[in-house]
Every structure is written in C-alpha cells, then in structure tokens.
Chains A and B, each alone.
Chain A
C-alpha cells in the first residue's frame, strides 16, 4: 500500500495554552505570534499559519526549521494529537481529524522525547503496543524479539525501561513505532541528544524502513541530518513554509551559494553598494543583528577585494565568517536569521 501525506492550508491557532500531553516539546512555546489585545487580554498563539505540503508515498520528507517554527505542531496534527483550527490534512485516503482511528492504524510515531511506558519491560512495551493494534500473540512475540535484536536491545529485553540510557530509550521508541508495521513513520527530532554512533544506526533504520516503500516524515533543526537523510525538505519558520525542494535544489536556490558574513565598526549604504560591485558577489543583505551578508559564488578569494572596498569606504572589518553552500545559508537567505541561534 502506498500512502502519502497531503496538507492544505493548515492553520492552528491556540486560544488557550495547549494541554501538557499535546504540548510540543523542545521549544519555548510552539508559539509564534502573540497578540495581546489590551481590551480583551486574549491569549492567541498562531502555531501554524497556512501550511501546505504534498509528500509522495515512499518519500523521506524533512521539516527543517528553528525551535517554535511549527514543525512539531504539524506532526501533532498529522498524528491526530492536535486538532487543526482550519485546513485539511490527509494521510493516504483518510482525512486526519475526521478519520482518526483509520489514520492511527497507518502511522507510527516517534516523539521528540521518549514517552515510554515505564511500568513495563522493553519486551512488554512492544508486545502490548502490538496488542493494541490487534496483532495475534504468536506474531507479537516473534516480531518483538526480532525488533529487540535489530535495535540491539535483546540483552535488556526483560528489564524495566526506567533504567535505560537516552539512546536505548530512543531505540526502543522507534522499535515500538515500527511494531505494528505502519505505512508512514513520523519522527520528531529523532536524533536530538543521541551520540554519533546511535545517530548513524538511527539513520540506517530510517533508510531501511523507507526502502520497503514506506513514507517517512521527520523534523529536525540539524542541517546535516536533513541533508543526509531526506529526499525532499520543507523549510518552515513562523508557522509557514518558506521553501520546499530536494536538499540540492534548495542549496542551489541560494544566490551564489557561499555566504560571507561581515561585521564592521559601522555600516553605511555606500559600503554595501561598493561591496555589491565586487565581481562574484550576487547579493548584499543587511541582517537585523547588524553587519552585512554577502551572497557570492566563492568564499576566501573574495577577502582581499572586500578588505580594500571596505577601506575605501572608511569602514573597519571586525569579524569575517565564510560559509559554504548549505541549508544553513538557505535559511539565512530566506529569513535573515541563522538556524543555529
């Protein structure tokens, strides 16, 4: 069965603080815009501001953006845990909010932080999970043993999960999400807090799941992860999609590809104009936090030209940072802000 995901003009506006169980972790608040009307003192947080996405069956799709961009809220809506304010979300042929039970049969969810059932052993957690999905007992036993083995948890299979390390919990979370053989896997910030070795294992498991024709949606604020793992990406910020495409396409869309971030003792229009004249520089932006960002087709070899142009304009450079073509630059280009704040 080929199951894709479609989201049309999805909005989520909180008019009261979200309940803890549905709250998205990792960020300060999912919140993006606060409107405090002095007359009403009404709480209103726009978490999703009209997101539309189309994810094909069998794709690994990434939502990339800073904390609070709306990534986890999007996943929350798609996994039936958050009620959208307006707009549609479909998984396969099911409208998510109206056909929650059918949708839940199709999806596996790995939350941002493990929400394991600590009263149970690792093996029980898998077998009870499968029992919720109506899997016969013999198959539950076989499949749980197989997954525990594949996720390198066999030696602790019959211990309570409360003593597990972060990496083990994360692996168990993924094993549990795969237990009922879902068609679509959601992973919310799957590699946060994982050591590099476990992260590689995780990537391998995700690719493996995907190679069997299943769809994967993951959120991340890690550029390398998005670049290495995802077939296509959507860059989100403030509850909106800023750009979509393959990692390659997105990186190519940044003018020049390279970014030279410069700090000066003072910035003038004259300075910006003269830097824009340098050959190879495609665009000069003034980011909100000060300095100038040069988008260019090369990096280090521009420095002598920048230094002389600056000196001619009477400005002194206090800091230079060169970054090569990356998703980071793309985010910077679209928002004027760095992802790694």
Chain B
C-alpha cells in the first residue's frame, strides 16, 4: 500500500467527477426523480395510492440512487478502460500493488454514491411535497448503513465492470440491474411479497433488498421492514462477496 499514490488517484477521480458533476448527476438522478414524481406525487395526489406511500417510497429511492450511481461510477470507466481507452494503465504502472488501484476505484465510487444519496434526499423531499413522515432519529445507524450501501454499490460496479465487455452494457441493465431494481424492494416493502412465498425467499439473494429495507428501517420504521441484524448481516456478507469477486476479476483483466 502506497498512501501517496492512493490519495493521488483519489484526487484524480475527484477532479474528473467535479469536472463532470452535472452530467453525472443527471445520469444518476433523473430516473429516480421521475419515479418519485410519478409514484410519489401523481399517484398519491390523484388518490390512486395512499399518501403514506410517499414515506414508503423515499427510502427505496435513496437506496436505488446510491446503488445505481456507485455501480455506474465504477463499472462504466472499468469497461471502457479495459476494452479500449486503457487509461487505467497509467495507474497500473504506479508504484503500488495493482489491487489498490481497484480499491481506490471502489472508494471513489462509494463517495459518489454517498453524494448521490445526499442529493436525492432534499430533491425527493421537494418533489414529494407535504405529508412525508421520515425520521432521522438514528443518525449513527443511518450513516453506517449509507457507507455499507455505498461500498456495496461500488463493489458490484467493480465486479460487473471487470466481467463484462462494452457490448454487454445493454444486457447488464436489462438482465442484471433491471431485475435487481424491481426485485430489490425499492417500491414496496419486503413484507409485501408474503403472497409470493418462493419469490420472497429468492429475492433475499438480491443485495438491493438489504439496502432498501435498511433505509426503510432507519428512515420510516413505521412500515414493516427486515430486522436490523438481517440488514446489516446481509450488507456485510454481500460487501465481502462482491469485493472479493471484483478484485479477482480486476486482477484477471489487469495482468496478462
């Protein structure tokens, strides 16, 4: 580990992210905000959904925004780097074990995910209008949760980014990320799947579930949610799995 090199790489990624701040923000947040508006505002105002749905939806939207932005922040540059731009070669030649280059990417992606989470809360608040029942009673729990979700997002990004080629980006979204979002308890609580017992068990393999349910338990505990032990346990396990897998794939791509 070479802290100087590591920090310089973080500085480089920060520089690039600041330069592309607005496009990045739009890329990551337009879709969740549209969801917030249509489901949280239009459907509730028209009376097709109860007003309490707003508070159920917001934690899921935070989870999904963080996951998508962290995932994309790592996966997209990795795919481009390893396939054609090779920009990363410069960093692979820095005097540091190459695994730290991947870890730096995960840290940078996690920071982007945290920023996305931080931006989405006030924006969604504005869009949803009155009637939101969200509590910040457990700030420490919320912070730990946010960090775990952010790292998870970046680690999934590393794994996908080092496993797929550019031609598979479309497939990644329609076959992997799409189902993860829709079966990730983003727009409904996990308990709502009780009527589909098999599905309810299967979705527990989806890391997104723990992120959504975690934010639900922290911000809107009035709704049914998975217990804190399951949420934190699940997040820790999935973090370990994806970090390991991501590093392995990274090594495979980086060394001939």
Contact = CB atoms under 8 A, between A and B. Distances in A.
A71 interface: no
A128 interface: yes
A165 B82 CA distance: 23
Contact of A132 (B84, B95, B256): B95
Contacts of B82: 19-21
Contact of B8 (A14, A104, A118, A131): A131
B95 A104 contact: yes
Interface residues of B, number: 33
A38 interface: no
Interface in A74-88: 76, 79-83
A81 B4 contact: no
Given A19-B253, A80-B93, A83-B256, A131 B86 contact: no
A291 interface: no
Given A21-B81, A80-B93, A131-B4, A115 B87 contact: yes
Interface residues of A, number: 38
A305 interface: no
A81 B12 contact: no
B72 to A, nearest CB: 15
Nearest to A177: B93
B5 A132 contact: yes
A179 B155 CA distance: 32
B85 A128 contact: no
Contacts of A104: 93-96
Contacts of A20: 82-84, 253
Interface string B72-95: 000000000111111111111111
A246 interface: no
A21 B83 CA distance: 7
Given A21-B92, A105-B95, A131-B4, A118 B256 contact: no
B86 A115 contact: yes
Contact of A21 (B9, B16, B89, B94): B89
Nearest to A100: B97
A100 B90 CA distance: 15
A267 interface: no
Contacts, number: 104
Contacts of A116: 87, 90
A19 B11 contact: no
A116 B83 CA distance: 14
A109 B16 contact: no
| Majority SS at the chain B contact face | helix
B91 A81 contact: no
B15 interface: yes
B28 to A, nearest CB: 17
B86 A111 contact: yes
B256 A176 contact: no
A53 interface: no
B48 interface: no
B171 interface: no
B88 A21 contact: yes
Contact of B5 (A109, A115, A117, A134): A134
Contacts of A101: 2, 95-97
Nearest to A134: B4
Nearest to A18: B256
A172 to B, nearest CB: 11
B231 to A, nearest CB: 36
A119 B87 contact: yes
A120 B11 CA distance: 12
A120 B97 contact: no
A22 B82 CA distance: 9
B8 A83 contact: no
Interface string B42-54: 0000000000000
B244 interface: no
B254 interface: yes
Contacts of A297: none
A144 to B, nearest CB: 14
Contacts of A79: 93
A109 B256 CA distance: 16
Interface of B: 2, 4-5, 8-9, 11-12, 15-16, 19-20, 81-97, 252-256
28 contacts: A19-B82, A20-B83, A21-B81, A21-B92, A22-B254, A76-B256, A79-B93, A81-B89, A82-B256, A83-B256, A104-B95, A107-B93, A109-B93, A111-B89, A117-B87, A117-B90, A119-B19, A119-B20, A119-B87, A124-B15, A129-B90, A131-B8, A131-B11, A131-B12, A132-B9, A132-B90, A132-B96, A133-B95
Given A119-B19, A120-B16, 6 more contacts: A21-B86, A21-B92, A104-B93, A131-B4, A132-B4, A134-B4
